[in-house]
Amino acid sequence: MKKVVVCGPYNAGKTSFVRNVNRHEFLGTEEPELDLVSLKEIGTTTTVGVEVNFLKYAGKEVMFVGVPGQRRFDFIWEVVGGRFNGILFLIPSFSNLREAKFYVDLFSQFDSYKDALKLLVVTYPQKMDEHKLFVFKSLGLPVRLLDPTDEESVRKLAEEVASKI
C-alpha cells in the first residue's frame, strides 16, 4: 500500500480533496467549529484528526492521508509524516509564500521526502494570477491549479499521483 500525505493550511481544501478521491470510502474527522468567545457553533467544520481515503488504480492501492490544518494539531503531522510515497501541499491561491514554505520545510525533514512524489496544489484557482504563480514556483515544486470541491479534477489528479508512485 502506497501512502500520500495531503497537508496544508487551515481551509485549504484538504478534506474536500481527500473526500473526492473516492466518495465511497472516505473516513473523515470533521467537527463543527465554535466561536471561541460565545462557544456557539458557527456553521462550518474543521478537521480534528487524520482522514483517509483509498484508491485502487494502475494495479496499485493508494492511501491518501489528510492531516488537520490548524497548528494546534501539529503533533499529528509528526505521526503521519513517518513514511510516505507522495505528498501534496494544498495551498490556497490567496495564501503567501511563507505559509507554503512552512509546510514544505516541515515535511522535507522526513526521510521519505527525498524520493516522494511532490506537488504544490494551489486551490481556489479562480483567484490565481500570473504573479502568484511565479511566486509559488520559486519553491521548486511542480505546481497544479485545482478546485478540491470538483470531484472529477480531484479524481484525475489522484489517478495521476497513483500512476507515478
What DSSP letter does each residue of 92-127 carry, written as one string? Answer: ETTS-HHHHHHHHHHHTTSGGGTTSEEEEEEE-GGG
Stretch 12-51 residues interacting with ligand GTP (CB under 6 A): 12-16, 46-47
Restricting to residues 52-91, name those near ligand GTP by CB under 6 A.
68-70
* By CB under 6 A, residue 112 contacts ligand GTP: no
46-50, Cβ contacts within 8 angstroms, sequence gap of 24 or more: 46/10, 46/70, 47/14, 47/15, 47/73, 48/73, 49/73, 49/76, 50/76, 50/79, 50/80
Question: Cβ contacts of residue 110 below 8 Å, gap of 6+?
Answer: 81, 82, 84
Q: 61 vs 94, which CB is nearer to ligand GTP?
A: 94
> Among Mg ion, ligand GTP, none, what binds residue 96 when CB lies within 5 to 8 Å by partner kind?
none
Closest separation in Å from C-beta 94 to ligand GTP: 10
Q: Are 84 and 71 in contact (CB under 8 A)?
A: no
Task: Write out the residues near Mg ion by the rule CB under 5 A.
Answer: 14-15, 47
147 interface partner picked from Mg ion, ligand GTP, none, CB below 5 to 8 A per type: ligand GTP
Cell of 111: 526521510
Stretch that binds ligand GTP, among 4-12, 55-63, 95-103, 109-117 (CB under 6 A): 4-12
CB of 18 to Mg ion, least distance (A): 8
Quick one: what does residue 3 bind among Mg ion, ligand GTP, none, with the CB cut-off 5 to 8 Å set by partner type?
A: none
